[in-house]
Structures are given as C-alpha cells and as structure tokens.
Amino acid sequence: MAEVAGVTVDTGHWIGGERVGSAAEFTDVSPIDEQPIAEIARGGAAEVEAAVTAATRAFPAWARTSREERARLLHAIADGVDKRVEELAQVETADNGALIRSHRRGVIPRVAHNFRFFADWLLRLGHDDFETRGHRNHVSWDPAGVCALITPWNAPLMLATWKVAPALAAGDTVVLKPAEWSPLTASLLAGIAAEAGLPDGVLNVVQGLGTEAGAALVAHPDVRRISFTGSVPTARNIAAAAAPNLTPLSLELGGKSPLLVFADADLDLAVDLAVEQYDNAGQVCLAATRLLVEASIAGEFTEHFLARTERLVQGDPRDLSTDIGPQIHRKHFERVDGLVRRAKADGARALIGGGPNTDLGGLYYRPTLFTGAPEGSEILSEEVFGPVLTLQTFDTEEQAVAMANGTRFGLAATLATGDPERAARVTEQLVAGTVWVNCFFVRDLRAPFGGSRQSGVGREGGDWSFDFYCDVKNTVVAPWEK
C-alpha cells in the first residue's frame, strides 16, 4: 500500500480478482520533485502466466455475457470513475506530472466517457444482412479472447481505458500492463472495476518493466490481441515476439507532425495552435512539433509566437496557474536535453529556451523553439516528446506538402489556412492518420485513430475498435425449403 496525494493505492498486481504481490519491487518516482512515492510489485513471467491463465478461464463466461449486461457493467465502471475524479486526478498528477487542472477538467472525465461510449456503441454495433443469389449474409462480431494491452505514461489512465473499454465491450478479457513510470491509476481502475461488479479475471493488471512483464506478455501463446502505444523500437520488439503466434497487433507509435501555416491563415489562430503544442510539457504523440510557415508571414508569426510563449507559466503542475509542468522521468529528461544539445551543435538556433529551467531545477525543461536547423538534421526528423518545436519556412503549397511529408512518420498534421479549397487540396496530399484544419486535438471516439508509415499499424475507434478486438464473421444461409 502507498499513500499518494492523500489517496491509498494498493501497489500489488490485480490478478483473477485478487491482489497479488511479487518477490521484487520497483520504485515509482514523482516527476514533480523526483521523490519516491511508492514501491510497486515488479511482475515478470510468473505473474504474466497467472494473469493470462485467469483471463483465459474468465473468457468463456464473459464472451457469453449479453451485450446489454456488458454495457451495464461498463456504465457502472464509468459511474465509479465519476465518483473519484478528484482522487484519480490527484494521483495521476503526482505520478506523471501533468497539470491537475487538465486532469480535473478533461482527462479523467474522458476516462468515464471512454467506458460509456463503447458500452453504447456495442448496443448499436451491427451490419444489415444482405443477399447473394437468394442466400442471406449475416455479419457478426465474435469475442477474440485474451487481450494484452500495453499503455504509455503521458496520459496513463485515459489512454489505458481507450483500449480497456472496447476490449471489454467486445467480450474479451484483458491483461493490462501500465507504463512503469506511471502505474498507479491502473491499480485504482482495477479496484473501481471490481466494485462495479466486473467478474473476476475479466480485467487483470500486471505491473512491471517492459523488458520483463511486457516481454513475457506479448510472447504468450494464449494472447489473441495485442494493443500497444509507445515507441517504434519497442513496437518492433513486440511485433517480433508476436510473430510466432500470429497474434494480431494494433500499434500507435511516434510522430513528428507538422503544423502548416499559410499566409491566408488567421494569424492569431495559427499562433494559438502553435503554442498549444507545448501542452503536457510537449509529451503528446500528436503534437505538431514542426512549424512550417509561409515565408511572407514568418517574421510576423514568429514575433507573435514569442510574445505568447513569454506568458506561459512553468512550475508545479498542482498549481492552477501552471501551464507547463516537468518531464516524466530523469531518463526522458536527459534524452530531450541530448536532442537539444545536438541540435545546437548541428547549427540550429534557439529563439527561446534551449535548456533546462535552472530556476526550477529537477525535471523542468524550458519551452524551446529552434530555427535554422539544417535540412535532414536529427531535430527535424526524430521525435523529441518534449517542449521542443522547430520553425521552417516555405514559399509554395507544393513545397509545404513535401516538407510536411518529409519524415518516416505519419501520425497527424495540422493546417492553418483561410482558403477552404486549399485546405481540401493539401489535406488530400498529407500522409497522416488525423488531419486538423484550423483546430487541434478535436477527438471523437467515432472516428478512426492511428498512424501511417512508422507511426503505427491499424486503426481504433468506433467500429474500427470492434473490428480489431473481435473476430468478424460472415454467416451465409441458403434459402430454407418451404
């Protein structure tokens, strides 16, 4: 047990409806002050085996449970989340350093919405029957089995339930492996689900390191689906481990997304969109970190951008006036700093930031904007996942599109323009799973979500989630003799 932000959190695994410890533990450190906040049970192959066994045993009954009952239980879990928004927000902020105001206003309420959405979508899921030469075709979505869900640290509970909710709605059972840098709210979720009446073994949580618990989980022969959000190198390892079992994968990976600003754009809107990319201290996979600005307005845009960023407040994420908190972990902080240092060595110039916030110390990194980075340099091609943006200019629409598509990623893109026809032309050519025009981070669970190129494999959301978490079956029935 641990007391975190005044909330009691059980630090054991949740397997088969019981709390389970491990012989070893790992230390969970708060990014706010780099102080230990909990000792977490460190799972490995034995705990994974127990969790998969529990999920396998629970699967037949859960798969036979009616859609209406599964939906009712998901709504009950959502009710439990709603009752504990403040507790979940406090623990999440202590654990991953994101803003308390964001957790209260949007992130934790979105957790409940994830469960309600997929519960309701399940009840309307279907396809009209159709005929082939007098034969009736009927499409159905059958539960697939045990799902291994491996989730990231930047929005731990919200992104976990983006996977957990559709998997449970589909009739699958789940083994959830949360990120080791932010495991606490996954443990709280297990308790909320149990209180809601979710049967034992349907949801299991195994904590541990990716190289231990994660590796054992994705290689397990009884796992029938793997959904992972994280880095490209880790995804390659997961795909290799899943290959012998032919386990279907859904991978949401990194990004190096562009924000294209044309001269006909609303300048204030474009600047607001650019500044918004510092959200969550830059630890957002969808962030448009490459600012591509038409040369004729680049000077004015930069002037307005610098004025806006000067008003950003960096500090303790528990303070409601804070706009930018810390990086998640010392290892990640050093990675961000290494990328910034190498960018300077390559000739890029920092107009703002360019290093740690020495006034705050710890894991706080100043919002940074680079200009003049050489074409093809690391800072223009590799995901930083920190508060680091680059600015480049273009002269023509064709050049802008080529620059936007000029990385190995294709997760998202943002476009600022006052011309609807230009917006249509450009968005059609952009390689991205999601494109926003004159807006950012507008997300609807009915829409497909995923990446192109090395930003991912597959799509989730709405029917796409059920297509992944189910075995989609077509039954063809010949005409019955009268």
What is the rounded distance in angstroms from the CA atom of residue 392 to the CA atom of residue 176?
41
Picking from 262, 259, 269, the residue whose alpha carbon sits closest to that of residue 294 is 262
What residues are labeled active site? 252, 285
What is the rounded distance in angstroms from the CA atom of residue 178 to the CA atom of residue 185?
9
What is the rounded distance in angstroms from the CA atom of residue 357 to the CA atom of residue 326?
10
What is the rounded distance in angstroms from the CA atom of residue 249 to the CA atom of residue 236?
11
Inter-residue contact 327 to 363 (CB < 8 Å): yes
What is the rounded distance in angstroms from the CA atom of residue 80 to the CA atom of residue 82?
5
The set of residues, in sequence order, having a beta carbon less than 8 Å from that of 109 and lying 6+ positions away, is 82, 85
Inter-residue contact 241 to 148 (CB < 8 Å): no
The set of residues, in sequence order, having a beta carbon less than 8 Å from that of 453 and lying 6+ positions away, is 408, 409, 410, 431
Cα distance from N-terminal residue to C-terminal residue, the chain: 67
Q: Which two tokens stand for residue 77?
A: 């879990």
Distance of alpha carbon 161 from its chain centroid, rounded? Answer: 10
Phi-psi map region of 197: left, alpha, beta (phi>0 left; psi -120 to 50 alpha)? left
